[in-house]
Structure 1
Protein backbone atom coordinates (compact mmCIF):
# COMPACT_ATOMS: atom_id res chain seq x y z
CA UNK A 1 0.00 0.00 0.00
CA UNK A 2 1.41 3.36 -1.00
CA UNK A 3 1.80 6.00 1.69
CA UNK A 4 -0.49 9.02 1.51
CA UNK A 5 1.40 12.28 1.08
CA UNK A 6 -0.01 14.69 3.66
CA UNK A 7 1.25 18.20 3.05
CA UNK A 8 2.32 19.45 6.47
CA UNK A 9 3.42 22.99 7.21
CA UNK A 10 5.16 23.51 10.54
CA UNK A 11 5.61 26.77 12.46
CA UNK A 12 4.40 29.20 9.81
CA UNK A 13 3.66 32.87 10.60
CA UNK A 14 -0.09 33.52 10.26
CA UNK A 15 -2.94 35.85 11.14
CA UNK A 16 -6.52 34.71 11.76
CA UNK A 17 -8.82 36.44 9.27
CA UNK A 18 -12.11 34.80 10.27
CA UNK A 19 -13.60 31.83 12.13
CA UNK A 20 -17.01 30.19 11.89
CA UNK A 21 -18.60 27.06 13.41
CA UNK A 22 -18.00 23.68 11.82
CA UNK A 23 -19.85 20.61 13.10
CA UNK A 24 -20.52 20.43 16.84
CA UNK A 25 -17.23 21.42 18.46
CA UNK A 26 -14.97 22.58 15.65
CA UNK A 27 -14.29 25.80 13.79
CA UNK A 28 -13.24 26.66 10.27
CA UNK A 29 -10.35 29.08 10.62
CA UNK A 30 -9.38 31.24 7.65
CA UNK A 31 -5.68 32.07 8.00
CA UNK A 32 -3.47 34.52 6.14
CA UNK A 33 -0.12 32.74 6.05
CA UNK A 34 3.28 34.03 4.97
CA UNK A 35 4.29 32.12 1.84
CA UNK A 36 0.91 30.38 1.50
CA UNK A 37 -1.67 33.18 1.24
CA UNK A 38 -5.19 32.50 2.47
CA UNK A 39 -5.50 29.01 3.94
CA UNK A 40 -8.72 27.39 5.19
CA UNK A 41 -8.25 25.06 8.16
CA UNK A 42 -10.41 23.20 10.66
CA UNK A 43 -9.62 23.56 14.35
CA UNK A 44 -11.06 20.36 15.78
CA UNK A 45 -12.61 20.78 19.21
CA UNK A 46 -11.81 24.52 19.29
CA UNK A 47 -15.31 25.39 20.54
CA UNK A 48 -14.90 23.26 23.65
CA UNK A 49 -14.36 25.24 26.88
CA UNK A 50 -10.98 23.61 27.60
CA UNK A 51 -9.58 23.82 24.07
CA UNK A 52 -5.96 25.02 23.96
CA UNK A 53 -6.63 26.89 20.71
CA UNK A 54 -9.85 28.61 21.75
CA UNK A 55 -8.25 31.71 23.27
CA UNK A 56 -5.66 32.05 20.50
CA UNK A 57 -8.07 32.29 17.58
CA UNK A 58 -8.16 36.07 17.65
CA UNK A 59 -7.84 38.36 14.67
CA UNK A 60 -4.91 40.77 14.33
CA UNK A 61 -2.49 38.76 16.50
CA UNK A 62 0.76 37.43 14.98
CA UNK A 63 0.64 33.65 15.44
CA UNK A 64 2.70 30.60 14.52
CA UNK A 65 0.63 27.73 13.10
CA UNK A 66 1.07 24.12 12.08
CA UNK A 67 -1.41 22.53 9.69
CA UNK A 68 -1.62 19.59 7.30
CA UNK A 69 -3.82 18.23 4.55
CA UNK A 70 -3.91 17.79 0.82
CA UNK A 71 -7.41 19.11 0.16
CA UNK A 72 -8.61 22.72 0.22
CA UNK A 73 -9.70 22.43 3.88
CA UNK A 74 -6.61 21.62 5.99
CA UNK A 75 -6.41 20.49 9.62
CA UNK A 76 -4.98 23.02 12.08
CA UNK A 77 -2.78 21.18 14.60
CA UNK A 78 -1.30 23.93 16.74
CA UNK A 79 -1.10 27.67 17.33
CA UNK A 80 1.47 29.64 19.30
CA UNK A 81 1.93 33.35 19.92
CA UNK A 82 4.21 34.84 17.29
CA UNK A 83 5.08 38.24 18.68
CA UNK A 84 3.78 41.19 20.59
CA UNK A 85 0.11 41.64 21.35
CA UNK A 86 -1.66 44.14 19.09
CA UNK A 87 -4.61 45.97 20.54
CA UNK A 88 -6.97 47.58 18.06
CA UNK A 89 -9.67 49.75 19.65
CA UNK A 90 -12.67 51.70 18.40
CA UNK A 91 -12.41 52.90 14.82
CA UNK A 92 -9.04 51.14 14.38
CA UNK A 93 -10.73 47.84 15.24
CA UNK A 94 -13.36 48.43 12.55
CA UNK A 95 -10.56 49.25 10.09
CA UNK A 96 -8.86 45.96 10.98
CA UNK A 97 -12.05 44.02 10.29
CA UNK A 98 -12.32 45.85 6.98
CA UNK A 99 -8.77 44.73 6.03
CA UNK A 100 -9.65 41.14 6.91
CA UNK A 101 -12.83 41.31 4.84
CA UNK A 102 -10.88 42.62 1.84
CA UNK A 103 -8.42 39.72 2.09
CA UNK A 104 -11.21 37.15 2.51
CA UNK A 105 -13.17 38.45 -0.48
CA UNK A 106 -10.35 39.27 -2.90
CA UNK A 107 -7.52 36.78 -2.30
CA UNK A 108 -7.92 33.34 -3.81
CA UNK A 109 -7.03 30.51 -1.46
CA UNK A 110 -3.44 29.29 -1.38
CA UNK A 111 -2.09 32.05 -3.60
CA UNK A 112 1.04 33.28 -1.79
CA UNK A 113 1.50 37.00 -1.41
CA UNK A 114 4.57 37.43 0.81
CA UNK A 115 4.85 41.17 0.22
CA UNK A 116 1.16 41.66 1.03
CA UNK A 117 1.54 39.58 4.21
CA UNK A 118 4.36 41.84 5.37
CA UNK A 119 2.37 44.95 4.43
CA UNK A 120 -0.71 43.63 6.28
CA UNK A 121 1.41 43.09 9.40
CA UNK A 122 2.86 46.61 9.17
CA UNK A 123 -0.60 48.09 8.55
CA UNK A 124 -1.99 46.43 11.70
CA UNK A 125 0.79 48.04 13.74
CA UNK A 126 -0.05 51.46 12.28
CA UNK A 127 -3.75 50.92 13.03
CA UNK A 128 -2.89 49.95 16.62
CA UNK A 129 -1.11 53.30 16.99
CA UNK A 130 -4.35 55.04 15.96
CA UNK A 131 -2.59 57.39 13.53
CA UNK A 132 -4.25 58.57 10.29
CA UNK A 133 -6.60 55.63 9.79
CA UNK A 134 -8.08 56.78 6.47
CA UNK A 135 -4.68 57.19 4.80
CA UNK A 136 -3.54 53.86 6.22
CA UNK A 137 -6.57 52.10 4.70
CA UNK A 138 -6.13 53.76 1.29
CA UNK A 139 -2.46 52.70 1.20
CA UNK A 140 -3.40 49.11 2.03
CA UNK A 141 -6.13 49.08 -0.62
CA UNK A 142 -3.65 50.34 -3.20
CA UNK A 143 -1.06 47.74 -2.21
CA UNK A 144 -3.71 45.00 -2.40
CA UNK A 145 -4.73 46.11 -5.89
CA UNK A 146 -1.08 46.16 -6.97
CA UNK A 147 -0.51 42.64 -5.60
CA UNK A 148 -3.59 41.35 -7.42
CA UNK A 149 -2.43 42.90 -10.71
CA UNK A 150 -5.00 45.69 -10.78
CA UNK A 151 -2.70 48.58 -9.99
CA UNK A 152 -4.00 52.03 -10.68
CA UNK A 153 -1.59 53.94 -12.93
CA UNK A 154 -0.53 56.97 -10.96
CA UNK A 155 1.79 58.57 -13.51
CA UNK A 156 -0.64 61.05 -15.11
CA UNK A 157 -3.67 63.01 -14.01
CA UNK A 158 -6.96 63.17 -15.95
CA UNK A 159 -5.52 65.90 -18.20
CA UNK A 160 -2.59 63.61 -19.10
CA UNK A 161 -0.22 65.86 -17.15
CA UNK A 162 2.61 64.26 -15.19
CA UNK A 163 1.78 63.65 -11.48
CA UNK A 164 3.83 65.89 -9.18
CA UNK A 165 4.47 64.31 -5.78
CA UNK A 166 4.34 67.59 -3.89
CA UNK A 167 0.92 68.54 -5.30
CA UNK A 168 -2.52 67.64 -3.99
CA UNK A 169 -4.97 65.96 -6.37
Structure 2
Protein backbone atom coordinates (compact mmCIF):
# COMPACT_ATOMS: atom_id res chain seq x y z
CA UNK A 1 0.00 0.00 0.00
CA UNK A 2 1.70 3.18 -1.18
CA UNK A 3 0.82 6.28 0.79
CA UNK A 4 1.92 9.85 1.01
CA UNK A 5 3.44 10.76 4.39
CA UNK A 6 0.88 11.80 6.98
CA UNK A 7 1.06 15.48 7.81
CA UNK A 8 -0.16 17.48 10.76
CA UNK A 9 -1.37 20.98 10.00
CA UNK A 10 -0.40 23.97 12.17
CA UNK A 11 -3.64 23.29 13.99
CA UNK A 12 -2.81 20.24 16.06
CA UNK A 13 -6.41 19.09 15.66
CA UNK A 14 -6.04 18.39 11.91
CA UNK A 15 -4.41 15.35 10.27
CA UNK A 16 -3.92 14.96 6.53
CA UNK A 17 -3.13 11.95 4.36
CA UNK A 18 -2.49 9.22 6.90
CA UNK A 19 -2.69 5.59 5.75
CA UNK A 20 -5.40 3.56 7.40
CA UNK A 21 -8.05 0.86 7.21
CA UNK A 22 -11.69 0.82 8.22
CA UNK A 23 -12.30 -1.67 11.02
CA UNK A 24 -16.01 -1.07 11.48
CA UNK A 25 -18.70 1.50 10.76
CA UNK A 26 -22.23 2.05 12.05
CA UNK A 27 -25.04 4.59 11.54
CA UNK A 28 -24.91 7.96 13.28
CA UNK A 29 -27.86 10.31 13.23
CA UNK A 30 -29.87 10.43 10.00
CA UNK A 31 -27.26 10.36 7.24
CA UNK A 32 -23.85 9.91 8.83
CA UNK A 33 -21.60 7.07 10.00
CA UNK A 34 -19.21 6.52 12.86
CA UNK A 35 -16.13 4.95 11.28
CA UNK A 36 -13.63 3.10 13.47
CA UNK A 37 -10.26 3.14 11.72
CA UNK A 38 -6.81 1.71 12.31
CA UNK A 39 -4.10 4.04 11.04
CA UNK A 40 -0.37 3.75 10.60
CA UNK A 41 0.60 6.95 12.38
CA UNK A 42 -2.18 7.39 14.95
CA UNK A 43 -3.43 3.92 15.80
CA UNK A 44 -7.17 3.44 16.29
CA UNK A 45 -9.18 6.58 15.55
CA UNK A 46 -12.97 7.07 15.56
CA UNK A 47 -14.28 9.41 12.85
CA UNK A 48 -17.64 10.89 11.94
CA UNK A 49 -18.29 10.56 8.21
CA UNK A 50 -20.96 13.21 7.75
CA UNK A 51 -23.53 12.47 5.07
CA UNK A 52 -21.84 9.16 4.17
CA UNK A 53 -25.18 7.33 4.05
CA UNK A 54 -26.59 9.63 1.39
CA UNK A 55 -26.87 7.90 -2.01
CA UNK A 56 -24.57 10.39 -3.77
CA UNK A 57 -21.95 10.70 -1.03
CA UNK A 58 -18.39 10.17 -2.25
CA UNK A 59 -17.64 8.46 1.07
CA UNK A 60 -20.48 5.95 0.81
CA UNK A 61 -18.52 3.25 -1.01
CA UNK A 62 -15.18 3.97 0.65
CA UNK A 63 -15.73 3.59 4.37
CA UNK A 64 -16.02 -0.20 4.27
CA UNK A 65 -14.10 -2.75 6.32
CA UNK A 66 -10.66 -3.79 4.97
CA UNK A 67 -10.50 -0.82 2.58
CA UNK A 68 -6.98 0.70 2.33
CA UNK A 69 -7.35 4.49 2.47
CA UNK A 70 -5.60 7.79 2.87
CA UNK A 71 -7.53 9.59 5.59
CA UNK A 72 -7.78 13.25 6.54
CA UNK A 73 -9.68 14.49 9.60
CA UNK A 74 -9.97 17.33 12.09
CA UNK A 75 -11.38 17.94 15.54
CA UNK A 76 -10.69 17.31 19.20
CA UNK A 77 -11.79 14.67 21.65
CA UNK A 78 -12.36 10.99 20.93
CA UNK A 79 -14.60 11.57 17.90
CA UNK A 80 -13.04 13.46 14.96
CA UNK A 81 -14.63 14.61 11.71
CA UNK A 82 -13.55 12.82 8.53
CA UNK A 83 -12.88 15.32 5.72
CA UNK A 84 -11.46 13.14 2.98
CA UNK A 85 -10.84 9.48 2.20
CA UNK A 86 -8.89 8.30 -0.85
CA UNK A 87 -8.90 4.67 -1.93
CA UNK A 88 -5.38 3.28 -2.25
CA UNK A 89 -6.03 -0.08 -3.86
CA UNK A 90 -3.46 -2.84 -4.07
CA UNK A 91 -5.27 -5.21 -1.71
CA UNK A 92 -7.96 -7.71 -2.64
CA UNK A 93 -10.97 -8.01 -0.36
CA UNK A 94 -11.03 -11.30 1.58
CA UNK A 95 -13.85 -13.64 0.59
CA UNK A 96 -15.70 -16.48 2.27
CA UNK A 97 -13.88 -17.86 5.28
CA UNK A 98 -11.12 -15.28 4.82
CA UNK A 99 -13.72 -12.53 5.21
CA UNK A 100 -15.03 -14.03 8.46
CA UNK A 101 -11.47 -14.31 9.77
CA UNK A 102 -10.91 -10.66 8.85
CA UNK A 103 -13.99 -9.63 10.82
CA UNK A 104 -12.61 -11.56 13.80
CA UNK A 105 -9.27 -9.73 13.58
CA UNK A 106 -11.03 -6.37 13.29
CA UNK A 107 -13.24 -7.06 16.31
CA UNK A 108 -10.24 -8.20 18.33
CA UNK A 109 -8.43 -4.94 17.58
CA UNK A 110 -11.50 -2.85 18.40
CA UNK A 111 -11.76 -4.45 21.83
CA UNK A 112 -8.08 -4.61 22.78
CA UNK A 113 -6.45 -1.51 21.25
CA UNK A 114 -6.70 1.83 23.02
CA UNK A 115 -7.60 4.81 20.86
CA UNK A 116 -4.82 6.96 19.40
CA UNK A 117 -2.03 4.65 20.52
CA UNK A 118 0.20 4.14 17.44
CA UNK A 119 1.30 0.59 16.59
CA UNK A 120 3.27 0.91 13.36
CA UNK A 121 4.60 -2.67 13.48
CA UNK A 122 1.10 -4.01 14.05
CA UNK A 123 -0.14 -1.97 11.09
CA UNK A 124 2.27 -3.92 8.86
CA UNK A 125 1.20 -7.19 10.51
CA UNK A 126 -2.45 -6.32 9.85
CA UNK A 127 -1.75 -5.64 6.18
CA UNK A 128 0.10 -8.96 5.92
CA UNK A 129 -2.78 -10.83 7.57
CA UNK A 130 -5.33 -9.30 5.19
CA UNK A 131 -3.11 -10.17 2.24
CA UNK A 132 -2.86 -13.79 3.43
CA UNK A 133 -6.61 -14.03 4.07
CA UNK A 134 -7.26 -12.78 0.51
CA UNK A 135 -5.59 -15.83 -1.00
CA UNK A 136 -8.05 -18.14 -2.71
CA UNK A 137 -8.89 -21.73 -1.78
CA UNK A 138 -6.92 -21.95 1.45
CA UNK A 139 -7.39 -25.06 3.62
CA UNK A 140 -8.97 -24.54 7.03
CA UNK A 141 -5.62 -25.11 8.76
CA UNK A 142 -4.09 -22.19 6.83
CA UNK A 143 -6.78 -19.78 8.05
CA UNK A 144 -6.23 -20.93 11.62
CA UNK A 145 -2.48 -20.42 11.31
CA UNK A 146 -2.97 -16.86 10.00
CA UNK A 147 -5.14 -16.06 13.01
CA UNK A 148 -2.68 -17.55 15.51
CA UNK A 149 0.21 -15.54 14.06
CA UNK A 150 -1.74 -12.30 14.20
CA UNK A 151 -3.01 -12.96 17.72
CA UNK A 152 0.59 -13.43 18.88
CA UNK A 153 1.73 -10.18 17.31
CA UNK A 154 -1.23 -8.25 18.68
CA UNK A 155 -0.57 -9.49 22.22
CA UNK A 156 3.12 -8.62 21.88
CA UNK A 157 2.27 -5.07 20.75
CA UNK A 158 0.05 -4.67 23.80
CA UNK A 159 2.89 -5.75 26.10
CA UNK A 160 1.60 -9.28 26.63
CA UNK A 161 4.24 -11.17 24.66
CA UNK A 162 4.15 -14.91 25.33
CA UNK A 163 7.61 -16.51 25.80
CA UNK A 164 6.48 -19.93 24.61
CA UNK A 165 10.01 -21.25 24.22
CA UNK A 166 10.96 -20.73 27.89
CA UNK A 167 9.57 -22.00 31.16
CA UNK A 168 7.99 -19.48 33.50
CA UNK A 169 9.94 -18.68 36.66
CA UNK A 170 13.08 -20.68 35.83
CA UNK A 171 13.66 -19.41 32.28
CA UNK A 172 14.80 -22.89 31.21
CA UNK A 173 14.24 -23.86 27.60
CA UNK A 174 10.99 -25.69 26.88
CA UNK A 175 11.58 -29.32 25.81
CA UNK A 176 9.55 -30.71 22.91
CA UNK A 177 9.09 -34.14 24.53
CA UNK A 178 7.84 -32.80 27.87
CA UNK A 179 4.31 -31.85 28.94
CA UNK A 180 3.61 -28.44 30.46
CA UNK A 181 0.77 -26.55 32.03
CA UNK A 182 0.08 -22.96 31.09
CA UNK A 183 -0.67 -20.55 33.93
CA UNK A 184 -2.19 -17.21 32.98
CA UNK A 185 0.05 -14.19 33.67
CA UNK A 186 2.98 -16.54 34.33
CA UNK A 187 3.51 -18.88 31.39
CA UNK A 188 4.43 -22.54 30.95
CA UNK A 189 5.49 -24.73 33.85
CA UNK A 190 6.57 -28.39 33.75
CA UNK A 191 3.48 -30.47 34.50
CA UNK A 192 5.06 -32.02 37.59
CA UNK A 193 5.64 -28.56 39.13
CA UNK A 194 2.20 -27.07 38.46
CA UNK A 195 0.94 -27.58 42.05
CA UNK A 196 -2.68 -27.43 40.96
CA UNK A 197 -2.39 -23.99 39.30
CA UNK A 198 -2.74 -25.21 35.72
CA UNK A 199 -5.01 -23.25 33.38
CA UNK A 200 -4.31 -25.61 30.46
CA UNK A 201 -2.12 -28.63 29.74
CA UNK A 202 -0.04 -28.38 26.57
CA UNK A 203 2.86 -30.25 24.97
CA UNK A 204 6.33 -28.76 24.77
CA UNK A 205 6.30 -29.33 21.01
CA UNK A 206 3.18 -27.19 20.68
CA UNK A 207 4.82 -24.35 22.61
CA UNK A 208 7.97 -24.52 20.47
CA UNK A 209 5.91 -24.69 17.26
CA UNK A 210 3.97 -21.60 18.35
CA UNK A 211 7.21 -19.75 19.09
CA UNK A 212 8.33 -20.59 15.53
CA UNK A 213 4.90 -19.85 13.94
CA UNK A 214 4.80 -23.45 12.68
CA UNK A 215 1.26 -24.88 12.70
CA UNK A 216 1.67 -27.89 10.39
CA UNK A 217 1.23 -30.44 13.18
CA UNK A 218 -2.52 -31.14 13.78
CA UNK A 219 -1.91 -31.39 17.54
CA UNK A 220 -0.17 -28.00 17.53
CA UNK A 221 -3.05 -26.54 15.51
CA UNK A 222 -5.62 -27.79 18.02
CA UNK A 223 -3.72 -26.93 21.20
CA UNK A 224 -2.62 -23.50 19.93
CA UNK A 225 -6.26 -22.59 19.22
CA UNK A 226 -7.26 -23.58 22.76
CA UNK A 227 -4.30 -21.82 24.36
CA UNK A 228 -4.69 -18.54 22.45
CA UNK A 229 -8.41 -18.54 23.19
CA UNK A 230 -7.61 -18.89 26.90
CA UNK A 231 -5.05 -16.06 26.84
CA UNK A 232 -7.17 -13.69 24.75
CA UNK A 233 -10.29 -14.30 26.84
CA UNK A 234 -8.23 -13.38 29.90
CA UNK A 235 -7.24 -10.02 28.36
CA UNK A 236 -10.76 -9.34 27.05
CA UNK A 237 -12.02 -9.36 30.62
CA UNK A 238 -15.37 -10.94 29.85
CA UNK A 239 -16.07 -9.21 26.53
CA UNK A 240 -17.58 -11.47 23.86
CA UNK A 241 -16.10 -11.71 20.37
CA UNK A 242 -19.13 -12.16 18.15
CA UNK A 243 -17.09 -12.98 15.05
CA UNK A 244 -15.26 -15.74 16.91
CA UNK A 245 -18.55 -17.28 18.04
CA UNK A 246 -19.62 -17.38 14.39
CA UNK A 247 -16.33 -18.96 13.33
CA UNK A 248 -16.63 -21.57 16.07
CA UNK A 249 -20.09 -22.50 14.84
CA UNK A 250 -19.00 -22.73 11.20
CA UNK A 251 -15.49 -24.13 11.13
CA UNK A 252 -14.14 -24.47 14.68
CA UNK A 253 -11.21 -22.16 13.93
TM-score by length of 1: 0.90
CA distance in 2 between partners of 1:81 and 1:29 (Å): 15
Q: Tell me, which stretches of 5 or more residues in structure 1 are unaligned?
A: none
Tell me what 1:145 maps to: 155
Higher mean C-alpha displacement, 121-130 vs 155-164: 155-164
Tell me what 2:31 maps to: 25
Asked if 1:94 corresponds to 2:94, the answer is no
- Would the aligned equivalents of 2:91 and 2:131 in 1 still touch at CA under 8 Å? no
- Would the aligned equivalents of 1:61 and 1:86 in 2 still touch at CA under 8 Å? no
Correspondences of 1:60-139 after superposition (within 5 Å): 60-130=66-136, 131=138, 132-139=142-149
**How many residue pairs are counted as aligned between the two chains?**
165
Asked if 1:168 corresponds to 2:178, the answer is no
Q: Which portions of structure 1, spanning 4 or more consecutive aligned residues, are displaced by more than 6 angstroms? A: none
- Return the offset for 1:152: 1.1
Decide which structure has greater helix share.
2
- Return the offset for 1:155: 2.4
Tell me what 1:42 maps to: 48
Higher mean C-alpha displacement, 75-84 vs 91-100: 75-84
**Alpha carbon RMSD of aligned pairs, Å?**
2.1
Cα 1:10–1:164 change in 2 (3 A) is farther
TM-score by length of 2: 0.61
Alpha-carbon displacement from aligned partner over 1:1-30 (angstroms, at most 9, x marks no partner): xxxx45111111010000011111110000
- Would the aligned equivalents of 2:14 and 2:74 in 1 still touch at CA under 8 Å? yes
Higher relative contact order (CA 8 A, sep 6+): 1
